[in-house]
Amino acid sequence: MKFYDCKTAPSPRRVRIFMAEKGIEIETVQIDLGKGEQFGDAFRAVNPDCVVPALQLDDGSCISEVLAICDYLEAQHPEPALLGTTNEERAQILMWTVKVEQQGLLSVADAFRNAAKGLKERAATGLIGYPQIPQLAERGRGRVEQFFRRLDDQLVDKEFVAGDRYSIADIAAMVVVDFSAWIKLTLPEDVVNTRRWYESVSARPSAQA
Amino acid sequence: MKFYDCKTAPSPRRVRIFMAEKGIEIETVQIDLGKGEQFGDAFRAVNPDCVVPALQLDDGSCISEVLAICDYLEAQHPEPALLGTTNEERAQILMWTVKVEQQGLLSVADAFRNAAKGLKERAATGLIGYPQIPQLAERGRGRVEQFFRRLDDQLVDKEFVAGDRYSIADIAAMVVVDFSAWIKLTLPEDVVNTRRWYESVSARPSAQA
């Protein structure tokens, strides 16, 4: 297998943390997003959507999208379980992972991509460029803060995002918090549950990945 | 179990089709999105994100997000398999389901919610309203067409979206095509593979759900 990564990007980091938790090591290829390597013929043959991460299997087929990659690796390396051990636990983890992606990660991405100087005509990922929409950057910032508060409500009586066990939902949410530093947003003082949780998950050795 | 539905909305339809394919029947509660029932106290206790579908289990806990609901129901009703039978097949299905949601469904939603007369201050789902961004509606339309072409490339040599078996990725993508009629977008004449596939999946009895 080959893992297509970009050391500085938030989405592949989710998979790196996942692999660190499980002690999985896979041959890794760095794709230089700053230089546009994701748009080159070589990487487009791996993932036509021009985004990392991607996992190439030995038969040449390719899995992209973080959730699909993690689910595949979990099947091969079940321990420690990061996608739940019962159907009910798994459902909460999947549900929260989707919520974190759609409410958190996409909001930071909206805020970042629609304001960053280097992405004026690249406000959406993929080969076709789209011009920035400043209003969308502003809306993204509002939605990121809304997400931090949503998470705070969830964490009032739970140790982790999807319940009492560390999971891919925590990885996704921690990456959202760190990604939001790119747009100079930090956790508000009053989201005390989110802050307590963030401190805890960030102290895990895997967070260095 | 109780299934929270809205007969006219695209997202819960994905679960209805899934249940029809498997012959699952669950007590169903209709939530009137037009009248704002999703923002009422009763439904917010079910899903604080104020969106359908949601599946309430007998212990009172709740699963929202289509992927999480379908994965949970698949574990309870494995046949016919709609999330794959091997790890590799499952990875392709999950990958494509995420792609269809993020490239297709969210693009139609951007185009619809940022232009519909009745949603002027509700351009994003959830309790907190956001004003419409006309440029985002326009970008959404562009990305929907881009998605149809992406799908067309994928379907050149495949019967279904994620391979040679009908799956939740087909359900999601079919719902995107039907949802795009809300914004008066139809499949371009030249996406012949997507048109062939759409005709085939729409002819299944489950498509009436």
Q: Does A57 touch chain B (CB under 8 A)?
A: yes
A136 and A43 inside one domain: no
Q: What SS3 state is found at A118? A: helix
What is the arithmetic mean of pLDDT over A29-52?
95
Least confident of A123-132, B53-62, B171-180, B181-190: A123-132
- Pick from A75, A92, A94: CB nearest B87: A75
Determine, yes or no, domain membership for B70. yes
Long-range contact pairs involving B83-91 (C-beta distance under 8 Å, separation at least 24)? B83/B167, B83/B168, B84/B162, B84/B165, B84/B167, B87/A72, B87/A75, B87/A76, B88/A57, B88/A61, B88/A72, B89/B162, B89/B163, B89/B165, B90/A71, B90/A72, B90/A75, B91/A63, B91/A68, B91/A69, B91/A71, B91/A72
Tell which of A76, A104, A123 closes a domain.
Answer: A76
A-chain CB neighbours of B142 within 8 Å are 128, 130
CA A137 to chain centre: 19
Task: Please tell me whether residues B66 and B103 are part of one structural domain.
Answer: no
> SS3 of A59, please?
coil
Three-state DSSP at A205 gives helix
One domain, residues B178 and B95: yes
- Judged against a pLDDT cut of 90, whether residue B127 lies above it is answered with no
Mean of pLDDT over chain B: 96
Whole-structure pTM over 0.95, yes or no?
Answer: yes
Q: A180 pLDDT exceeds 90? A: yes
Inside any domain, residue A184: yes
Host domain of residue B98: 87-204
Give pLDDT, residue B66.
98
pLDDT at position A127 over 90: no
Between A94, A123, A124, which is nearest B67 by CB? A94
A132 sits in which H/E element:
none
Instruction: Provide, as residue numbers in chain B, all residues whose Cβ is less than 8 Å from the Cβ of A47.
Output: none
In a domain, A82, yes or no: no
Q: What are phi and psi of B143, to 5 degrees?
A: -75, -30
Residue A170 has pLDDT above 90, yes or no: yes
Domain ends where: B23, B50, B76?
B76
Each residue of A71-111: pLDDT tens digit? 999 999 999 999 999 999 999 999 999 999 999 999 999 99
Can you give the pLDDT at residue B198? 98
8 Å CB contact between A161 and A100: yes
Same domain? For B71 and B138 the reply is no
Is the pLDDT at A169 greater than 90? The verdict is yes
C-beta of residue A143 within 8 angstroms of C-beta of residue A99? no
A63 φ, ψ to 5°?
-115, 125
Confidence band, pLDDT 50/70/90 cuts, at residue B144? very high
Do residues B98 and B174 share a domain?
yes
B82 within some domain: no
Q: How confident is the model at residue A190 (pLDDT cuts 50, 70, 90)?
A: very high
Instruction: Report the alpha-carbon distance of residue A139 to residue B208 in Å, rounded.
Output: 37
A29/A94 same-domain check: no
Mean pLDDT, residues A44-66: 96
Residues B191 and B127 in one domain: yes
Q: Do residue B12 and residue B108 come from a single domain? A: no
Residue A159: which CATH number? 1.20.1050.10
How many structural domains comprise chain A? 2
Do both A111 and A48 map to the same domain? no
Is A153 inside any structural domain? yes
Residues B27 and B70 both lie in one domain: yes
Q: Tell which A residues from 82 to 141 touch B, by Cβ distance under 8 Å.
A: 87-88, 90-92, 94-95, 98-99, 102-103, 106, 123-124, 126, 128, 130, 133, 135-136, 139
| pLDDT classification of B132: cutoffs 50, 70, 90 | very high
pLDDT digits (tens, 9 = 90+) for B159-168: 999 999 999 9
Identify whether residues B193 and B102 lie together within a single domain: yes
Together in a domain, B14 and B117: no
